Amino acid sequence: MIVTVTLNPSVDRTVEVDELRRGEVLRASSSRVDPGGKGINVARALARHGIETKAVVALGGAEGDHLAALLDRAGIDVTPVRIEKAIRSNITVVEPDGTTTKLNEPGAVLTAGELRRIVDAAVAASAGADWLVASGSLPPGTAPSVYADLVERLAGTGTRVAIDTSGTALAASLPARPSLVKPNHDELAACAGRHLLTLGDVVEACHALRERGAGAVLASLGPVGAVLVDGADARLAYAPDTVPVSSVGAGDALLAGFLAAGGEGTDALIQAVAWGTAAVTLPGSRMPGPADIQPDDVLLAPTIPSDLPLTQA
């Protein structure tokens, strides 16, 4: 079983427009509402493949009720933790060429008691689980050490922890030695403290995160693919000729695919890229199902071209 915890969930509305133009009244060609939050997206992707999963989610306000209904409709096994303030609503605007503009609210401030209940619920739900996925932005005012606390509380239990976050929360999680971290290009660059201009820069930054405590690093690089560094070797997998529809949730699908395939090694990397690639071809933050996954389209680079510029990452 794979457990996810989402401290800052959302109700996500995605609208499609012909062109995003500031200061004008735009008519959407379509719209959809999905459950939002990185951990929730991972759980949604796993559930579509019949993989046992449980989502620990903070729920508050009318938006929380709406999110709970959406998750129930999606067949997600939810451990709800009620909070006083309303969770956030996010808006994503997608243009025909796949360009995505996101407007994300900051989210509800959690009390110390609410945060403690969520962490306790996540630890309890993880009993006997293969993985706990702690992912997404932190609510305003939440200590960046919260994900590190989860790693430390699950140490020695047999449940591995995957971290997918950014900024100080990512940096603070590393000394706790999570089994896996999954940054994207920008998150990896911020954690490294420098621009990453080539694939060689990415590999060096991944090795640096391992030296700081991460067991393995799975870096998602958009159309460039994904790099896995879990030892002395680094591997790159990618899917050429992909026409994007929406990039929302693609990194979450990539992480779900990696964990669904065992959470380590080349085969898991290929599945991860297949799941992430499928996600970008779907509207909104829809998660791919079995029929959408095409692992045979994923290529594994024989070597990583270290001087390849990351202009598309």
Give residue for tokens 């449980």: 54
* Dist CA 154 CA 97 (whole Å): 43
- The rounded Cα 123 to chain-centroid distance in angstroms is 20
Tokens of 246: 């929406």
**Which residue has 């009620």 as its token pair?**
82
Catalytic residue among 120, 130, 252, 307: 252
Q: Is 252 a catalytic residue?
A: yes
- Angle at which helix 112-125 crosses helix 146-154, to 10 degrees, equals 30
Length of the chain: 313
Element spanning 161, H or E: strand 160-164
- Enumerate the β-bridge partners of residue 220: 184, 226
Cβ neighbours, 10 Å, residue 82: 11
Helix (H) / strand (E) element for 254: namely: helix 250-260
Residues annotated as catalytic (active site), given as ranges:
252
